Amino acid sequence: LITQQSQEELYNVLQENLRLQQTGEVDKQRVVVVSLSPQSRASLATKYQLSSEEAHQKLSGFFKKLGVHHVFDTTFSRNFSLLESCREFVRRYYEGETNKTSLPMLASSCPGWICYAEKTHGSYILPYISSTKSPQQIMGSLVKDYFASKQGLTPNQIYHVTVMPCYDKKLEASRQDFYSDLYQTRDVDCVITTGEVDKMLEKENVTLGQVEVDNSYSVMSGLISPDGGLRSHIGGGSGGYLEHVMRYAVSQIHGSSVENLQYKTMRNQDFQEVTVELEGKRPIKMALAYGFRNIQNIVQKIKRGKMTYDFVEIMACPSGCVNGGGQIRPTEGQTNNELLDRVKANYNSVACVQPDLWNGVKEVYEDWLGGVDTEKAQAMLHTQYHGVEKTASALNIQW
């Protein structure tokens, strides 16, 4: 898997495209699309001392120079992950009156957490996990279904690469659920980590600062308008799921709004709680739980029937995706925390927009999915999980 999903595989595809160009068989080339994650961009921007905008445009320039046709930003697909999570929460909140596994809803965008839940807790915990796909996999559907049809291509004529802050995203992309038997292709063909992009820069013998910028614009490119300018989402380095789900829940369930959410640190910085209490209404209680120790605590509480949260934003890495295992490591003499603070500062320097107000989102819902809550929206934006029941062999029991 690791050799299959690496920068080497991307180089092979680009070389094959070059060969086809030289032999006049351009129509056989695959259209190469790279989707950048905002956490990877922040890590590279920090290493090369660039602003987020500069890093974004230079990364786009770098990939295009290598022969990539289109460079997108997974912040665009995160709009759909956030909006779907919000709607799913409200639906489950009302279902909770009759269905015991509707709440708490547990966020699903971290494959480290999903693998752990499937393998360690069998089918017990899975009904609680949100069915909404992660930004990487929604980008996969956008590229292989929507973008492909707009370009008059079949999904297998596109080679789709994502740049991600962690290795677990390679496992996520390889899940059978994200493979099309019809076209024999994955929604995301190859995942390369931030560190692997840095190795590509080394191989090409350039620093990111030396690369020429590319500021071509499309709704999926991450630039909010043809004049440039990146946008992000409020609420931290893993996407701000709690922030958006809570605000939406308060507006839809209680018909009210909150100015600022008050985060209360519980056991440690990676375990925080937010409660919104409005007079005469049932309080809505949510938490962030990052890192395995905090995750285990949540899982145990659910198993013992002691869970009081309605929603938990779960991420396997302490501090979330900005601190993923595939990010650029500290230099000599630099501590992990010093580097992390700088990456977070870069990540948070991007102005935020509400996902429903994002340029193009409403149009894509209409044009691609026929609106919200349609059958196609369910198929393209949601997924399912598979518990690995503990068998004698999985537990390594000798009979």
From first CA to last CA, the distance across the chain in angstroms is 32
Strands 311-315 and 158-164 turn out to be: unpaired
CA atoms within 13 A on the CB side of 241: 32
* Residue sitting closest to ligand SF4 (CB): 324
Tell me if 328 contacts ligand SF4 by CB under 6 A. Answer: no
Alpha helices, DSSP H only, in the chain?
Answer: 7-22, 38-47, 52-66, 74-95, 111-120, 135-141, 148-150, 168-173, 194-203, 241-254, 292-303, 336-348, 361-369, 375-381
Is position 320 an interface residue for ligand SF4 (rule: CB under 6 A)?
Answer: yes
In the complex, least distance from residue 202 CB atom to ligand SF4, rounded to whole angstroms: 22
Q: Is 222 in the site for ligand SF4 (CB under 6 A)?
A: no
Mark 223-252 with x for binding to ligand SF4 (rule: CB under 6 A) and - for no binding: ---------------x--------------
- Contacting residue, 168, 187, 189, 310, with ligand SF4 by CB under 6 A: 168
State which of positions 24-83 bind ligand SF4 (CB under 6 A).
none
Applying CB under 6 A, among 38, 155, 165, 195 the residue interacting with ligand SF4 is 165
- Binding to ligand SF4 (CB under 6 A): which residues in 192-211? none
Q: Is 110 in the site for ligand SF4 (CB under 6 A)?
A: yes
Sign of CA dihedral 210, 215, 221, 224: positive
Looking at beta carbons only, is 52 or 137 nearer to ligand SF4? Answer: 137
Q: How far is CA 72 from CA 105, 160, 229, in A?
A: 30, 10, 14
Give the interface segment with ligand SF4, choosing from 53-61, 100-108, 162-170, 344-352 (CB under 6 A).
162-170
Q: Which of 283, 178, 223 is nearest to 38 (CA)?
A: 223
Q: How many residues bind ligand SF4 (CB under 6 A)?
A: 13
* Angstrom distance (rounded) from CA 193 to CA 211: 19
Stretch that binds ligand SF4, among 40-48, 163-171, 179-187, 298-306 (CB under 6 A): 163-171
Among 83, 161, 190, 316, interactor with ligand SF4 by CB under 6 A: 316
Among 106, 166, 220, 287, binds ligand SF4 (CB under 6 A): 166
DSSP letter for each residue of 248-287: HHHHHHHS---SS---EE-SSTTEEEEEE--TTS--EEEE
CB of 282 to ligand SF4, least distance (A): 30
Name the residues that contact ligand SF4, by CB under 6 A. 110-112, 165-166, 168, 238, 315-317, 320-321, 324
